[in-house]
Structure formats: C-alpha cells, structure tokens
Chains A and B, each alone.
Chain A
C-alpha cells in the first residue's frame, strides 16, 4: 500500500483553466515536497513545505501543507501547456532520511 495517495491520477484540461491536485496520507510528515517530471527525465523539485498550514506560492502554483501535516495540495491558476507533466508529492516521516512518493498525477494542458 502507498503511504501517500494522489488524486486525480490523470487530468486533462484546457489552457486557462484552474486545477487542484491532492496528496493524502494517514501518516504525519516532517516535510513534504512537490516535484514535476517531464517524460524521459528525472523529477525536479518545485517546493518544500515543513510547517502545518503553510502556504507557498511559485508564480501560478500555490502549495498548501495541511494543518495536521498529513496532506497537501497543489493549485495551478490559469494552466498553460508548459505546465504539462507528471506531478509527484513526497513526504519525509519524523524518523527522517526516507522520502515516500505519491502515486503521481499526470497533467495535460491542451492549447
């Protein structure tokens, strides 16, 4: 069983639409990261959140860490074709040194 579940698994939207990707767990994490992965490449870190309730913004992307540090969300405003990719969340437990990745959300933004 996956420690982190992401939803939706696939998302296809029109350019200009908004979307939210969810990352949920029953475990508490000391930190949570979001990555984007392009086909044929390794994941690239977008953001790290460490405090319950924390909100971080990266241009049109907004990341939120749940108050209980068990879940997180990624919201994209006015999606663009360049946002197309696989979005992965990854959490580190309090025991440290191991990241557990979510199942991934494959986003396609249609021009």
Chain B
C-alpha cells in the first residue's frame, strides 16, 4: 500500500510554461483533492473530486485544471504558470466510512515559477 503518491517532488518553471502535477492513490477512495500551502496561510483547496468523472472548484481554482478519468489518478494542470503559483502543492484522498473520516496527504510537490 503506497498510499498517496505525487510526482515530481520539485519543479522549476518559467512564466507561461504549462505542466501537470501527478497524484495517485491505491486505497480506492472516491474523494480526492488538491491543496496549495503558502507561508502563514495554511492549506487552501484548489479543486476536488468526489468520484471518477466528477470534479468541482475549491477556494482558489483560477489558473488550474483537473480531470478524474479513474478512481486512482487525479492530475492537476497549470495552463500558463505565473510567479503567484509558486507554492507547495499537496494531493489528498479521503476515506469516509461509517466509523472513519480521514484525509491522507501525499508528500507534496514544491513548485517555483520564475
């Protein structure tokens, strides 16, 4: 059981470049989400998905796209990177059963946009 995996771990982009941050989970969780973490602001929700084929916007969705073609994968796309998108990005999957409500976070992707 690998849990939640994210690639790459580090990335440097130039303004205007595009890229995809990968996220995968092997726990068969329906709910997955993407957050960004900036100093002094905690984590902010970018997009989330409650199952394959279903996505919705969080607090800060502008500049990001997501898709959910399978239960396991939830990639985050930056269409045209901007310096304001320099941040640490975390993917999470959520287990909601009768006795448990737990979010499992990946190790993060540290993105710098020059």
* Interface of A toward B, CB cutoff 8 Å: 2, 4, 6, 9, 31, 33, 40-45, 48, 50, 88, 90, 97-104
Give chain B residues whose Cβ lies under 8 Å from the Cβ of A40.
107-108
Which of B4, B31, B45 has the most A CB atoms < 10 Å from its CB? B45
- Chain B residue at smallest Cβ distance from A89: B42
Q: Within the complex, which residue of A42, A44, A104 is in contact with B42, where a contact is CB–CB below 8 Å?
A: A104
* Interface of B toward A, CB cutoff 8 Å: 4, 31, 33, 35, 40-45, 48, 50, 56, 58-59, 90, 92, 101-108
- Chain B residue at smallest Cβ distance from A99: B45
A34 to B53, CA, bound (A): 30
Give chain A residues whose Cβ lies under 8 Å from the Cβ of B44.
101
Give chain B residues whose Cβ lies under 8 Å from the Cβ of A102.
42
- The main secondary structure of chain B at its interface with chain A is strand
Give chain A residues whose Cβ lies under 8 Å from the Cβ of B33.
99
Q: Within the complex, which residue of B41, B59, B105 is in contact with A43, where a contact is CB–CB below 8 Å?
A: B105
Q: Within the complex, which residue of B42, B58, B106 is in contact with A88, where a contact is CB–CB below 8 Å?
A: B42
A97, B105: Cβ atoms closer than 8 Å: no
For this complex, 5 residue pairs linking A to B, each with C-beta atoms less than 8 Å apart, are A33-B101, A45-B102, A90-B43, A101-B43, A103-B42
B48, A98: Cβ atoms closer than 8 Å: yes
- Known pairs A98-B45, A101-B43, A104-B42; list 15 more (Cβ under 8 Å): A6-B42, A9-B40, A33-B103, A41-B108, A43-B43, A44-B105, A45-B103, A45-B104, A48-B101, A48-B102, A50-B101, A88-B43, A100-B59, A103-B40, A103-B42
